[in-house]
Structure 1
Amino acid sequence: MGSFDFVTFFFFVAAVIIFIQLRSVLGKRTGHEAPPRDQMARRDQAPAAEGLDDPKVVTLPRRGRESSEPETFAAVDAYAEPGSELNKGLREVVAADPSFDPVEFVAGATTAYEMIVSAYAEGDRKTLKGLLSREVYDGFVAAIDEREARGETVRSNFVGIEKSSIIQAEMKGTEANITLRIMSQLISATLDKDGEVIEGDLADVTDVNDVWTFARDTRSRDPNWRLIATEADQ
């Protein structure tokens, strides 16, 4: 029992000594510490003050319109010569609709061209309605109505597109207008009610040069472009 009391007393004394030594170290101040509030203030102020009065330090701009401009107009500059009227027009379109890409637009417009030519020949009003402006649609439908009233039909075989390119671009208010020159090959003939060819040829391939203008309101959520004007390129 006496041995147990001695061991207990020994550990108690050792614990007291260790506590006194730790107390002499932990929390000890040197007299040069800044108050907690001052330390926080210094952390807050350091980034703002750093470099403001040093003329050798240049503050980089945040990523925005200016810093992203080369990337934004890269597709336009690759398609149309920088400084040209076409380039300026396409840049206006991209500024209004950053998702616009001239190469992708030409591909889509070329597909629409083929669909419109085929739909007109077949008298497919439903397809035409989704691809044409109201004015152009009314003109196409009027021609189809007259053709059908005479008992005439059109047989058309779309051979392909030789070349399609943007020749003009502009913004009219919030509406983007893109004009293309489309060179295609087509086999087309108009037959009367008796099945006789009265215009065109059922075998000959004809070169067709068209200038078509497509438009889209850049404020609209509808991504589709519609044909607003057509003319033959002489």
Structure 2
Amino acid sequence: MPFIDILIFAVIAIFLIFRLRSILGTKDGFEKPQKTMHTESKKDNVINFKTKSSDTIHEALNGSGLKDLRKLDTSFKDEEFLNGAKAAFPLILNSFSEGDLGNLRRYVGFDLYEEFATAIHQRDEAGEKLKINIEKVNDIQLLDAEISDGIASVTVKFDTIQTRILTDSKDVEIEDDSFSSEQIEDIWIFERDINSKDPNWKLVETGTTEID
């Protein structure tokens, strides 16, 4: 089964954007949003994805794990996986900024989902709104992979230009949590049980660094 069967990268970067047709179980392994994806209340909220710095996640990455993954899962194809990740990245960010918990639940692992949900509820209670715009995708790279007890983890780096605007209950911009046209490096980790019939990958960890 092609990488399409590998999963939908579920997540975020610490303020987490978009996607198209029902791809669950298809080549890139990234599930596409259903037309009813906005059935839950849409609240614009923000979450700080800096649960871990990308410097920390970069440690111990040497690319050797990708070779092991390709051997154990012959359906894994780098290009198809990256195409799925490229589509999942804006989808997850957009879902987070809109407070779409239903959509996030399909793409993000349980623990990370709980963190996102908590952040969204806090923003909602404070009356804050988050808008994220990905102006340009400079590069997407597979950094490494790891397999432990049948669980495959793949680390991906997204180099993008983003604008994020957080406003308070009076629609006044919160400058400390907002920025315009900044180069951002997001490191996301996706996981999948390679013994499962479910082809989808889910986002389980994120890290963000602003590039000077």
Query: Structure 1: which amino acid aligns with 2:150?
Result: T
Runs of 4+ in 1 over 2 A off after TM superposition: none
Aligned to 1:123: 99
Q: Deviations over 1:105-163 (max 9, x none)?
A: 11111211111111111111111111100001000111000000000011222223111
Task: Work out the CA distance in 1 between the residues paired with 2:147 and 2:209.
Answer: 23
TM-score computed with the length of structure 2 as normaliser? 0.66
Matched pairs, number: 148
Q: 1:97 aligns with which of 65, 73, 81?
A: 73
Query: Structure 2: which amino acid aligns with 1:174?
Result: G
Aligned to 1:33: none
Q: Deviations over 1:67-109 (max 9, x none)?
A: xxxxxxxxxxxxxxxxx941x3122212222110011111111
Q: 2:187 aligns with which of 211, 224, 229?
A: 211
Aligned to 2:83: 107
Determine if contact 1:178/1:213 at 8 Å carries over to the other structure: yes
Name which structure has the greater RCO, CA cutoff 8 Å, separation 6+: 2
Mapped pair 1:225 → 2:201:
yes
Task: Work out the CA distance in 2 between the residues paired with 1:177 and 1:159.
Answer: 28
Which has more radius of gyration?
Answer: 1
Aligned to 1:189: 165
For structure 2, which runs of at least 5 residues remain unmatched after alignment? Answer: 1-60
Determine if contact 1:133/1:227 at 8 Å carries over to the other structure: yes
Greater helix proportion: 1
Q: What SS does structure 1 have at the residue aligned with 2:113?
A: helix
For structure 1, which runs of at least 5 residues remain unmatched after alignment? Answer: 1-83
Task: Work out the CA distance in 2 between the residues paired with 1:190 and 1:226.
Answer: 26
Mapped pair 1:177 → 2:129:
no
Mapped pair 1:151 → 2:151:
no
Task: Work out the CA distance in 2 between the residues paired with 1:222 and 1:160.
Answer: 32
Aligned to 1:138: 114
Q: Percent identity?
A: 28
Q: What SS does structure 2 have at the residue aligned with 1:205?
A: strand
